[in-house]
Structure 1
Amino acid sequence: MKDKKRKIGFSYAWNGIKEIAKTERNFRIHLLATFLTVAAGFLFKLTMVEWAIIVLTIGLVLMVEVTNTAIEKLIDYLRPEIHPTAKIIKDVAAGAVLIAAIIAAIIGLLIFLPKLHILF
């Protein structure tokens, strides 16, 4: 019985990821950035530590984007009409994504900029 519950829980989670990938443009942009970053990682032969930092950073951004989307959907469900507090909640959640994206960009620059001399 436990295995069935695990499989069901995993399938719900996977359905959520598929749904956000299908319906949320920003999530797809983050997935494109993920693909480009991983490709650059192979091109520049990142070290194991650099890969760990990149994977953690990608995970952070994707998790915050998923959480932001969940918050937005919940607010839209609870308050379909425009409400000032609902707007603040959505803006704060979006701000978390922006912070994560800025951190990811800084980490990307710290890891990849020193390696650009390979191309020139």
Structure 2
Amino acid sequence: MKNNNFISSFKYAFAGLISASKRERNFRFHLIAAIVVILTGIFSHLSTIEWIILILCISGMLSLELVNSALERVVDLASPDIHVLAKLAKDMSAGAVLVFACASAIIGILIFLPKWMEIIN
């Protein structure tokens, strides 16, 4: 299904985002977490570099969750029966999401904790 229309490619991309928002619990969780982080960042008066880092973490997390969900769908299509290789592919993809989520959480702590400690003291 080759698409030569540049505008149509955006339509399909937004359809994918909407589909993930409706069907994927983990994607919705990460969207809510992103909103919380952005609001917290606004009230924490982040520097430009801190915003850049957080935006990279948020966009990376959402992108990786989308890729994980897409991979799960393709694996289910290719192997509707339970198969050890299908399970491994899904588990490894979920593991990649977990690694990025943990790294993003640590980065968030490193950015926000000093600011919160400053407010408390």
TM-score normalised per structure 2? 0.94
Matched residue, 1:68: 68
**Number of the residue aligned with 2:89:** 89
Give the number of aligned pairs: 117
Aligned-residue offset at 1:6: 1.1
Counting only pairs closer than 5 Å after superposition, residues 1-120 of structure 1 correspond to structure 2 as 5-120=5-120
| Counterpart AA for 1:52 | I
Q: Structure 2, unaligned stretches of length 5 or more?
A: none
Q: Aligned-pair RMSD on alpha carbons?
A: 1.0
3-state SS in 1 of match to 2:81: coil
| AA aligned opposite 2:36 | L
Query: What is the alpha-carbon distance in structure 1 between the residues aligned to residue 68 and residue 108 of structure 2?
Result: 22
Amino acid at match of 1:13: A
Instruction: State percent identity of aligned pairs.
Output: 42
Distance 1:110 1:118 in 2: 13
Give the whole-Å Cα distance in 2 for the aligned partners of 1:60 and 1:8.
24
Q: Which amino acid aligns with 2:113?
A: L
- Report the CA distance between 1:118 and its aligned residue: 4.4
Alpha-carbon shift at residue 119 of structure 1 (Å): 3.8
Whole-angstrom distance in 2 between the partners of 1:53 and 1:41: 11
